[in-house]
Amino acid sequence: MTLALIGFAVLIVLVFLRLPISFAMGLVGAAGFAYISGWKPSMAMVGTLFSEAALNYGLSVVPLFILMGNFVARAGMSSELYAASNAFLRHRRGGLAMATIVACGGFSAICGSSLATAATMAKVAMPPMRKFGYADSLASASIAAGGTLGILIPPSVILVLYGIMTESSIRELFAAGFIPGLLGILLYLAAVQFVVWRNPGAGPRGDPMPWPQRFNALKQVWGVLLLFILVIGGIYVGIFTPTEAAGIGAGGAFLLALLRGVRSFSEIYKVLADSARTSAMLFTVLFGALIFSNFVNRAGLPEGLLGMVTGFDVPPLVIIAIILAIYVVLGCIFESLSMLLLTIPIFTPVIRELGYAGMSPDTILVWFGIIAVVVTEISLITPPVGLNVFVISGVLKDVKTTTVFRGVTPFWCVDIIRLAILVIVPGLIMFLPNLLYH
């Protein structure tokens, strides 16, 4: 355990020295493994890990879901989602910010990436909110917070990676993320309502739209709805495996993009290139995390932690609270994906043996996957490493990060409330998986 903790300390130092987190995890993991077993076994471990990961059929779901999301974004479906939600909410105080959150939730259902959701919706939603006189803090914060839903509402790339690393059912994880995602949308709407209650000028009312125009706007989202039902519905009822559904979703998104005029070679090439870059980034982080996890497992950290936990005479809820507090601290140092992949091999052996709320080992891993992703969502909008905030500032050059961080405070506060609800009432997470698969 001492060696593993020294490895963590070295890793944090390398991160502060601006070494990419994927390379830092891989370097420390390989060096630590070599210290225990020698350089030859360490290099053999790295080579075996890469070859096995390259041949892992389940990992093909990641680039396919990313490709689906990029085709959806290129086809302009985000604009249609925003137009539909705007048609029904614009007449309310703060209605455009609420419409942004609802549209983010809808886009998340066919995208799977928080950063892509935030970047896409920033271009779509910010101009109308500025036109109606919304405060930049509320407008940008609603986009940043709504974007976090991309890693929770299925299909979620992070849930796929979690399922692969823990050997949990991906379809159960997708089912488990649905209700917490809806709860997140409702609480974000409440956060907007709180902001405009305190400062009515931050989100003025818009003119109500006639009902025929509302229904016409709603009809425009047929492509998004069809794609979601095809992909997620097919997984839920067992028609497709997640990998098959990802392939069908990518193909369906490509056809919808063709129908909406995305036909030039340059546009299709850009979508493919963006998908390849994003996939390569995710796999690089994943490989680094796997190398580091092999090191900490060989050093005995998970077993040591499990021994310490079982030695304490405290309820499982206290252990879970400690783990969540560690996640909050790590969220101030690491970016979200790296933090999750780094901690999964360490915490899941402990969680598996807790027996919290009478859940079986397999069930509690599904539950904890959603809890870990919700904590990760919080890290996406809290300083100093709030990636969604920096994405918004990068897309909207004239909006300072301090403005966005100030605006997102009510949103991460309701996220903490959501986290507490999901921990105390685990049935909210497990309702759909139990209904569909048990």
H or E element, residue 195: helix 170-198
Dump pLDDT digits (tens) for 229-280.
888 888 888 888 888 888 998 999 899 888 888 878 888 999 899 889 888 8
**pLDDT of res. 416:** 93
pLDDT-based confidence at residue 196 (cuts at 50, 70, 90): very high
Identify whether 316 is preceded by a cis peptide bond (ω within 30 of 0): no
Distance spanning both ends of the chain, measured CA to CA: 38
Check whether 335 has a pLDDT greater than 80: no
Asked if residue 186 belongs to a domain, the reply is yes
Is 73 inside a domain boundary?
yes
CB 148 within 8 A of CB 374: no
Does residue 217 register a pLDDT over 90?
no
Q: Using an 8 Å Cβ cutoff, are 329 and 65 in contact? A: no
Residue 6 domain-assigned (yes or no):
no
Phi and psi, residue 55, nearest 5°: -95, 0
Q: Assign 82 a pLDDT band (cuts: 50, 70, 90).
A: confident
282 confidence band (pLDDT: 50, 70, 90): confident
Are residues 388 and 376 in contact, defined by beta-carbon separation less than 8 angstroms? no
Residues 165-192: what's their mean pLDDT? 93
Give the span between the Cα atoms of 4 and 370, in whole angstroms: 26
Residue 146 lies in a domain: yes
For residues 354 and 364, the answer to whether their CB atoms sit within 8 Å is yes
- For 133, the 3-state DSSP assignment is coil
Of the segments 174-188, 276-290, 351-365, which one has the largest average pLDDT value?
174-188
Residue type, 265: F
Query: What is the average pLDDT across 202-226?
Result: 85
Does residue 221 lie within any of the structural domains? yes
d(CA 4, CA 292): 10
**301 pLDDT more than 90:** no
Between CA 113 and CA 155 the distance in angstroms is: 9
Dist CA 391 CA 180 (whole Å): 24
- Evaluate whether residue 10 is within a structural domain: no
Q: What is the CA radius of gyration of the chain?
A: 22
Position 343 pLDDT exceeds 80: yes
Hey, what are 169's tokens? 């059912």
Find out whether 378 and 419 touch, Cβ atoms under 8 Å.
yes
Could you list the residue range(s) of the whole structural domain that residue 271 is in? Answer: 60-437
User: Residue 424: what pLDDT?
Assistant: 94
Q: State the angle between helix axes of 114-131 and 77-89 in degrees (0 to 180), rounded to the nearest 10.
A: 50
As for how many domains the chain has, the answer is: 1
The rounded distance, in Å, linking the Cα atoms of 399 and 135 is 11
The pLDDT mean for the chain works out to: 87
In-domain check, residue 354: yes
Q: Is the model's pLDDT at 144 over the cut of 80?
A: yes
Under DSSP, the state recorded for 233 is I
Judge whether 339 and 327 are in contact, CB under 8 Å: yes
Peptide bond into 208 cis (omega under 30): no
Q: Which residue has the higher pLDDT, 337 or 417?
A: 417
Share above pLDDT 90 across residues of the chain, in percent, rounded to a whole number:
29
C-alpha pair distances (Å), 8 with each of 26, 36, 259, 301: 12, 16, 50, 11
pLDDT of residue 419: 94
Rounded Cα gap, residues 183 and 180, in angstroms: 5
Which residues, other chains included, contact 265 with Cβ-Cβ below 8 Å and sequence gap of 6+?
none
What's the pLDDT at 131? 87
Confidence of residue 337 (pLDDT cuts 50, 70, 90): confident
**In a domain? residue 34:** no
The model's pLDDT over 367-409, given as tens digits with 9 standing for 90+, comes to: 999 999 999 888 888 877 778 888 888 888 888 888 999 999 9
Range of 59-63, 204-208, 329-333, 424-428 with top mean pLDDT: 424-428
The sign of the CA dihedral 284, 344, 155, 120 is negative
State the number of CA atoms in the 13 A half-sphere of 97 facing the CB: 35
